Structure 1
Amino acid sequence: MNQLSVKRLPGGRYGLPLAVVIVGTAVFLLMARSQGGLGFPLDDAWIHQTYARNLVRNGRLEFVPGVVSAGSTSPLWTLLLAVGYLLRLPYLWWAYLLGTASLAWLTWNGMRLWRQLWPNLAEKDWMAGLVLAVTWPFLWAAVSGMETLFFVALGLATLTMYVSIAQNRQINGKGLSVVGWLAGLLILTRPDGLVLLVLVMVGVVVLPGSVGQRIKRAGVVAGTAVLVLIPYFSFNLFTSGTIWPNTFYAKQTEYAAQLAIPIVNRVVQLLYFSLGGPADGLRGMSGPHLLLLPGLIAAGWQALKTDWSQRKLIMQLPLLWAGGHLFLYAWRLPLTFQHGRYLLAAYPIWILYGLAGWQTLLFSRSGLRSVWILQQVSRWTFVGLLLIFVALGSRAYADDVAFIEGEMVTMAKW
């Protein structure tokens, strides 16, 4: 498909990825329906629903009615779910709609980031959007009832805003405030958004300017983020005595056995799994984006050289966010279960850089028939694997929903 044909589609270059998002989530829901019924694949999704329902009914964050709780790790997601209860919408379909919209926003931000980082490949942004839209863990997360994709999409929005500022020689307080505001909302969605806030602050300090200007930039970003977070931190501190939700600390105790594994082993395992490797060991694959690894390495090396020559932190910052996010979980919560939902923030970065790297390594060459054959084989192998994993992922989703609905939800209702 060439650039002209993409532009002629309804909705322009965004129309095709959006259509794929809608069709993909529908496939997952239809598979679950055929296996026994709709629901959520995680018990955590029901916890979010409980907080949202009680917020609308009682006007307070409560898991048990009458007992104010600081256990919600995603108050912003709780508020979004609460809108559905406030409007008396079916809670399942409202959650599915939020997840599908989050995936659509993720692909849109991914396409925007692609154009910013690789302007010479801007006409290929639709390809990046399509791959993101059909990545099966994203489709699974879109209909999981969880905040995961909203967090990833919001993180990409923060990145695109930062890159826009960093590429513009005129750095103003308004743009920096927007970055801080987005970073604050990111932390309200999940506490691990703190990683991106720190990196963005480092990035604005590295940009050219006097010492005073650099400190002021970081202060604007941090100050705006803190303004967003003050109500959340104050509530947690008053309710449980800590600024973070109390369940954040409970999980550290629950998975103490995993934390006993050497940190190097944990980092390697989570990194390889996020790149598309298996959940355990080194044999097999959990996603077709493992094939993008050579391109990721090439694009990562080029990003390092570009930033070094310009004395900026632009091309590397998304990679540092993905790597920092993985390291945080390797350090505090080294888990690969539930299809890597804790690690999904790294996936779009690996995919975008992997695709861009392959465009440079292989698809920028032409003329030789052998090169053409290699291009076609690699292209259709990757497309075929994407579709196969969507089919496998939809089956896994249906099984997960059936288990949660048949075991945990049934028991809870009893």
Structure 2
Amino acid sequence: MRSFSAPQGFCKMSSLLLPLLPYLLYLIAVVYFLSFSPYSLYDFPLDDAWIHRVYSRSFALGQGFAYNPGQQEAGSTSPLWAIVTAPAHWLEPFGTRSVVVAVKEIGILLGILLIRELVLLTCMLTRSWKSALVAGSLFALEPRFLFSTLSGMETILLLVLWLSATRAYVQRRWVLSALLMSLMPVTRPEALLLLPLWWGGMLLLPSSERPQLKALLSGVILALPMGLWSLFCRLTNGHWLPNTFYLKARGFQIGPDDLRIAWEVLSQHGYAILPLFWVGLIVYILWTFQHRRFSVQVGFLYLLFAPVLYGIGVLGSRTMTTYGYYWTRWFDPVSLLLTVAFSIGYGLFVHWGMALVKAYRCKRQRKRSTVLLGGLGWVALLALLAGAPIFVHSFSERRLHFATDARAIHLINVRTGQWINQHTPETARVGVNDAGAIRYFGRRWTLDLIGLNNADIAFGRKTARQLIEEDSIDWLAIFPSWFQGSSIWQGFVPRQVFQIPLAEYTICPCPGQTRMVIFERRAGAKEAMGSNR
């Protein structure tokens, strides 16, 4: 018999092929997702993904976290993602498409690892290979998971660390779990809220079983990665977190509207649009209350309580909307971890249903609980089949949006960067408001006029207009609508426009982002401005 769950050996399977089912479904879904359009394969659905590429390329070239050559900048909210994907940029001699495909392949591999962690963790919690197979197979088809995996963003890395840390904790591998959890805040800063849960989990153990020396060592490990990154930020921008955190965060508050938006985001896509999702989630919660095993309690702590805590941190510090992936991605870790819990709950349904079938086949006396739970399992299966058309529609919508969002970024941002690379001298200095693809493809010294990648602007030490003059900016590539009533382009003349209809800009209903204009400084304009000061 082949062991399916590794250390505990609770889950045994005679088949060599069945354990591969979740991974096969996942790879089929990935290929289907990417096959919609060339934009799905060769582009990213957010300009933020290209900002990651800027820092990742810099790291791959041995330049650290430099936005411009020789200019270290705390502009990345996910330094670990930049490091993990840096090897993709060694393929740049083969073209940018090779880099994009390599980044997506890294995401796909992380997706495989995430499914593996889910399957093994489910086996350890439920002691049922049937539940593990079902949980892994369901999650493999979640469109929100597929979108995140292929988006070029850091969510998939955070989830792998989260589930891996949970499984290590269940196995009482204290140092490994602390190491994995310590990497989460340098993947997403909101994960700082989760670090105290490492010690909170110790309260689930009898005092005699709590590791004293390893707990002390783990405490040092937990603080180290984020401590080093915070020190880098402090030395670079004068603050303890990246520029982007301060510019995109707000004063902590949670009101009724925030809770409503959170509910809408949670139930917007995938399994969560089905009533069965919430039933499966409730079943998992009730099941954890009935089992006092350490592993089950840890599962509740990390798969239910921790996502809620993380969600509170995001909801209270960010302005959330349901407009598009740019905003909902911040909440995706919560949505996807609740989907993990639902998948385990549904796996329990299937386990109970199969137990009832086995009882009938063996013609043995059937307990009332076996009949009741088994009946619920078969009802859950019918409910999933009934909801399949709705789920398929959601899957298709996510697949379509992935392609159209990537197309919009290509036509507006990527083409702008390519034009700058082809039509400006190598010494050109460019001011931008979308700081990813234009910097990546343009390969020119770039000033981020919003401040996400410029600490002076981010923290109000200087204005964008001041730096345009001080840094001798001779080109601008901006959304003019963002600077109405501003003198930002005074002394510049338009040279090129990239524009698409609003209906084709599916990233969000943002009319101001459908028209990018490239301006060149008018000859003599800088000298004239200097003489007027």
- TM bin (shorter chain): 0.7 to 0.9
Q: Which of 389, 404, 407 is the matching residue for 2:412?
A: 407
Stretch of structure 1 that moved more, 366-375 or 152-161: 366-375
Q: Is the 8 A contact 2:249 2:319 kept in 1?
A: no
* Cα gap change, 1:311 to 1:27, in 2 (>3 Å): closer
**Does 2:134 correspond to 1:127?**
yes
**Which range moved further: 321-330 or 196-205?**
196-205
Aligned to 1:168: none
Question: Where does residue 64 of structure 2 map in the other structure?
Answer: 60
| Preserved CA contact (<8 Å) 2:201 2:298 | yes
8 A Cα contact 1:154 1:182, kept in partner? yes
Give the Cα–Cα distance (whole angstroms) in 1 for the partners of residues 343 and 89 of structure 2: 41
Structure 1 residue 8, shift from structure 2 partner: 3.6
Which residue in 1 is equivalent to 2:110?
102
Residue 353 (structure 1) aligned with residue 341 (structure 2): yes
Q: Does 1:330 align with 2:335?
A: no
Higher relative CO (CA 8 A, sep ≥ 6), structure 1 or 2? 1
- Name the one with the larger strand percent: 2
Cα shift at 1:330: 0.9
Aligned equivalents of 2:378 and 2:227: distance in 1?
58
- 1:36 and 1:82 map into 2 onto residues whose CA distance is 21
Equivalent-residue separation in structure 2 for 1:271 and 1:222 (angstroms):
35
Q: Is the alpha carbon distance of 1:142 and 1:349 closer, same or farther for their aligned partners in structure 2, counting shifts above 3 Å?
A: closer
Aligned to 2:45: 41
Name the structure 2 match of 1:263: 255
Question: Is the alpha carbon distance of 1:238 and 1:28 closer, same or farther for their aligned partners in structure 2, counting shifts above 3 Å?
Answer: same
Of 360-369 and 224-233, the range deviating more from structure 2: 360-369
Aligned-partner Cα distance in 2 for 1:200–1:326? 18
Q: Which runs of 5+ in 1 are unaligned?
A: 166-174, 280-284
Kindly state the Cα deviation for residue 364 of structure 1 after the two structures are TM-superposed: 2.5
Secondary structure of 1:63 counterpart: strand
Point out where structure 2 has 5 or more consecutive residues left out of the alignment.
Answer: 5-10, 361-370, 420-533
Cα pair distance change 1:384/1:217, threshold 3 Å: farther
Give the number of aligned pairs: 385
What does 1:4-403 align with in structure 2 at a 5 Å threshold? 8=15, 10=17, 12-13=18-19, 15-33=20-38, 38-57=42-61, 59-86=63-90, 88=92, 90-119=98-127, 121-165=128-172, 175-209=173-207, 218-252=215-249, 262-271=254-263, 273-274=265-266, 277-278=267-268, 287-288=272-273, 290-307=275-292, 313-317=297-301, 318-335=303-320, 336-339=322-325, 340-358=328-346, 364=352, 366=356, 374-403=379-408
Q: TM-score, normalised by structure 2?
A: 0.65
Matched residue type, 1:110:
L
Q: Deviations over 1:136-182 (max 9, x none)?
A: 011111111111111111111011111221xxxxxxxxx22111111
TM-score (norm. length: structure 1): 0.82
Per-residue deviation, 1:7: 5.8
Q: Residues 32 and 397 of structure 1 are in contact (CA less than 8 Å); yes or no, is this contact kept in structure 2? A: no
Asked if 1 retains the 8 angstrom alpha-carbon contact of 2:162 and 2:181, the reply is yes
Give the drift of 1:290. 4.8
For residues 180-210 of structure 1, the C-alpha deviation after alignment (integer angstroms, 9 at most, x for no partner) is 1111122221112223322122112442115
Q: Decide which moves more: 362-371 or 350-359.
A: 362-371
Which of 355-364 and 94-103 deviates more? 355-364
Residues 373, 331 of structure 1: alpha-carbon distance in 2 compared, 3 angstrom cutoff? closer
CA distance in 1 between counterparts of 2:217 and 2:249 reads 33
Secondary structure (helix, strand or coil) at the match of 1:188 reads coil
Deviates more, 1:361-370 or 1:153-162: 361-370
Q: Identity rate of aligned residues, in percent?
A: 22
Mapped to 2, the partners of 1:56 and 1:372 lie a distance apart of 50
Does the Cα contact within 8 Å between 2:130 and 2:351 map onto a contact in 1? no
One-letter amino acid of the structure 2 residue matched with residue 327 of structure 1: I
Distance 1:358 1:123 in 2: 11
Give 1 or 2: higher helix fraction.
1
Q: 1:190 to 1:286 in 2, by over 3 A?
A: same
Larger Rg: 2
- How far the C-alpha of 1:371 sits from its partner, in A, is 6.8
Structure 1 Cα separation of the partners of residues 295 and 58 of structure 2: 51
C-alpha separation between the residues in 2 aligned to 1:209 and 1:266? 40
Instruction: Spell out, residue by residue over 1:58-111, the C-alpha distance to the aligned partner (whole angstroms, 9 max, x if none).
Output: 522111233210111111111122112235562111111011111111111111
| Residues 20-49 of structure 1, C-alpha deviations (whole Å, 9 max, x = no match) | 22222222221132x687300000000000
